[in-house]
Amino acid sequence: MSTVKLARRVTDIKISPSTAAAQKARDLKAEGRDIVDLTVGEPDFDTPDSIKTVAIDAIRAGDTKYTPVNGTIALRKAIQHDYSSRLGIDCALDAICVGGGAKQILFLALTATVEAGDEVIIPAPYWVSYPDMVIANGGTPVIVPCGEEARFKLSPAALEAAITSATRWVVLNSPSNPTGVAYTADELKALGEVLKRHPQIFVLCDEIYDRICYADFPVCSIVSAVPKLAGRALVVNGVSKSYAMTGWRIGYASGPKVLIDAINKLQSQSSSCPSSISQAAAALTGDQSSVEATVEVYRERCEHIWKRLNAIDGLSCVKPDGAFYLYPNCSGMIGKTTPEGKTIGNDLDFVIYLLESAGVASIHGAAYGMEPHFRISTATSMKILNDGCDRIEVACKALH
């Protein structure tokens, strides 16, 4: 039997830890275990009926063919209007691309620009896929730790210190997965001052959660805060999180035309174009009440669970500004012993302990580049979240 020889771009990367954790929870549930799953970063709300109706109408109208590689004119006009009216970013229609989810666009942007020897600055904690996307495209991820004292955000000094002649990109994710923290306009301006001194560096702005923001300051993109960076930034977004459309796979971005053209070229040779039906249903225009309603629910959940976690002896948690995650610090549990006599040596040991002893599935902080923490998702009902907190509290009290 012949053996398939895999390319290094595959063997050098790992399966997404969040995907693996979610699958582990599903497997345990299938075995009959009582599991509170707090791993999945996916809205628990259904896609609004108004969006479903548009999709059904598109099917009935025969809107089921290939579209332009960079998306339909109608959707790109909606994206153009959204960026202009909501973020103050003006972009031409040919400087917008549409792909099969924001994740695809992020990957293709790196494929289009990163080669061996190129460096990409990634503030930690980070979304689990950033480093592996860089590695898969031959680049080197440069991880910059941004601890709780900085509210998990990249400072100008830390950015400056990480820059070398090989730096190609810096990644900014706001609001963040896994911490939920967001950058203010002043913080982005300060980072922009550093980037002005290094014109070879582009900014990869992952703003997939920017509609799910409940901070006491307005949402802002670095392009809004520092317009001079417009020619060096790719502003990426999508409908998955805000509109509960994860399975519809529509992401989009605005940036320099030469980069947008390169992303479109790569997409033309890989997936051709996004789904025509999903593009027709993308809900950037019209009634936004469904988004406003779900954001309020996320706010209530976050506030409640943040208070509950901080009330547990040995845990502490920075309050998020948006998204639907909490990233508690579990340093108070490290070194303690379980009732079975096992020592908790790190945050992976802690989340395994929560899973095995309490039936709570979460993701360890090392997967996001910073220990000792763990991530839980609040994209589930308050009943499940309270059940999870009850179990975590009991499990923590059992350690000694």
At 223-250, the pLDDT tens digits run 999 999 999 999 999 999 999 999 999 9
- What is the CATH number for 326? 3.90.1150.10
How many residues appear in the chain?
400
Q: Hey, which bits of 267-385 come out as E strands?
A: 325-326, 360-361, 363-364, 374-377
Q: What is the mean pLDDT of residues 290-305?
A: 95
Identify residue 202 by its one-letter amino acid code. F
CB burial string 326-346: b at 16+ within 10 A, e below:
bbbbbbbbbebebeeeeebeb
What pLDDT score was predicted for residue 20?
A: 76
Query: 304 and 235, same structural domain?
Result: no
* Nearest to 138, CA basis, from 168, 115, 120: 115
Is pTM beyond 0.75? Reply is yes
- Is the domain of 168 the same as that of 232? yes
In the chain, pLDDT over 90 holds for what percent of residues? 89
Q: Enter the DSSP assignment of 344.
A: -
CATH assignment at residue 224:
3.40.640.10
Q: Is residue 1, in this structure, part of any structural domain at all?
A: no
Is 97 among the domain residues? yes
Asked if residues 99 and 251 have their Cβ atoms less than 8 Å apart, the reply is: yes
Residue 53 lies in a domain: no
173 and 24 share one domain: no
DSSP 180-244: -----HHHHHHHHHHHHT-TT-EEEEE-TTTTSB-SSS----HHHH-GGGGGGEEEEEESTTTTT
Per-residue confidence (pLDDT) for residue 32, from 0 to 100: 84
Cα distance between residue 317 and residue 144, in whole Å: 21
Whether residue 56 is contained in a domain is answered as no
pLDDT tens-place string over residues 154-210: 999 999 999 999 999 999 999 999 999 999 999 999 999 999 999 999 999 999 999
2/9: higher pLDDT: 9
Residues 244 and 307 in one domain: no
Residue 239 lies in a domain: yes
Residue 163 and residue 273 in one domain? yes
Query: What is the model's pLDDT at position 9?
Result: 87
Fill in the DSSP letter of residue 131. Answer: H
The predicted-structure confidence for 95-123, as pLDDT tens digits, reads as follows 999 999 999 999 999 999 999 999 999 99
Total domain count, the chain? 2
Q: Is 313 helix (H, G, I), strand (E, B) or coil?
A: coil
Domain finish residue from 254, 281, 308 = 281
Q: Is the domain of 266 the same as that of 199?
A: yes
| Assigned domain for 166 exists | yes
Whether 3 has a pLDDT exceeding 90, the answer reads no
Radius of gyration (Cα) for the chain, nearest Å?
Answer: 21
Domain that holds residue 366: 8-46+289-398
Q: Is the pLDDT of residue 304 over 90?
A: yes
Tell me the CA distances in angstroms from 242 to 207, 239, 271, 286, 386, one per residue in order: 11, 6, 24, 14, 23
- Residue by residue, DSSP assigns 22-50 as HHHHHHHHHTT---EE----S-SSPPPHH
- 108 and 244 in a single domain? The answer is yes
Predicted pLDDT at 242: 95
What pLDDT is stored for residue 24 in this prediction? 80
pLDDT tens digits for range 313-335: 999 999 999 999 999 999 999 99
Residue 1 has pLDDT above 60, yes or no: no
| Percent of the chain clearing pLDDT 70 (strictly above) | 99
Same domain, 148 and 111: yes
Summarize the confidence of residues 379-393 as an average pLDDT: 97
